[in-house]
Amino acid sequence: MVSWSDGSDSSEHTLEYMSSASDDGTIKVPASIEDSDFEGPETELHVLCHVHGKASERRVAFEGIHTGRRFLCCAEKEGKNCGLVEWIDPSWPNTLENALSKLWFMYEQSKRDRTEDNLMN
Contacts of 74 (CB under 8 A, 6+ apart): 29, 49, 51, 52, 54, 56, 57, 81, 82, 83, 84
Q: Are residues 21 and 65 in the same domain?
A: yes
Domain match, 76 and 120 both: no
Per-residue confidence (pLDDT) for residue 117, from 0 to 100: 87
Instruction: Give the pLDDT confidence score for residue 5 in this predicted structure.
Output: 40
Do 60 and 105 lie in one domain? The reply is no
pLDDT tens track of the chain, all 121 residues? Answer: 444 444 434 333 333 333 344 555 566 889 999 999 999 988 888 888 888 888 899 999 999 999 999 999 988 877 677 888 899 999 999 999 999 999 999 999 999 999 988 888 7
- Which pLDDT score is estimated for 24? 57
Q: Where are the beta strands (DSSP E) in the chain?
A: 16-17, 32-33, 40-41, 57-61, 70-73, 84-87
Cα Rg of the chain, angstroms: 17
Same domain assignment for residues 17 and 76: yes
Residues 31 and 76 in one domain: yes
* Domain shared by 47 and 102, yes or no: no
Question: How much is the pLDDT for 23?
Answer: 55
Say yes or no: 83 and 101 in one domain.
Answer: no
Total tally of structural domains belonging to the chain: 2
Contact 78, 53 (CB under 8 A): no
Q: Do 25 and 38 reside in the same domain of the chain?
A: yes
pLDDT, residue 91, reads 96
Domain extent at residue 69: 10-90
Q: Is 12 left (phi over 0), alpha (psi -120 to 50) or beta?
A: alpha
